[in-house]
Amino acid sequence: MSRKSTSSRPVSTHDTTVEFEYETTARARIVAASVAREIGEIDDDRSRTTIDRDGTVVRVVIEAADIVALRAALNTWFSLIDVAEQVAAVGTADGTR
């Protein structure tokens, strides 16, 4: 699963990569698919994000025009990942996954 932003903005001056590792590939797949739907919806003229998954690792790459935009994007994506993890855990706890 690989999703990319379709923005044509110039290369950023600030970027970061955050990796989330899960116990199973299935859990990583669920989290990645849940948050990947936001790619393109949250991006703006100051930041863009890509998400990919490699086995049990979900990788979020954020590029931003300035440090404030980078911080805002990080906060947004951390929140989205957190919610996806909580929902996946509930699904596992009730036996659906």
Q: What ranges do the domains of the chain cover?
A: 2-87
Distance between CA 69 and CA 48 in Å, rounded? 10
Contact 14/30 with Cβ under 8 angstroms?
A: no
pLDDT, position 5: 45
Distance between CA 89 and CA 94 in Å, rounded? 9
Q: pTM of the full predicted structure?
A: 0.79
Q: Determine the topology of domain 2-87 in CATH.
A: TATA-Binding Protein (3.30.310)
* Residue (of 23, 28, 84) closest to 59 by Cα position: 28
pLDDT tens per residue across span 32-76: 999 999 988 888 889 999 999 999 999 999 999 999 999 999 999
Distance between CA 47 and CA 22 in Å, rounded? 26
Whether the pLDDT of residue 1 is over 50: the answer is no
pLDDT, position 12: 57
Tokens for 82, please give them: 């957190």
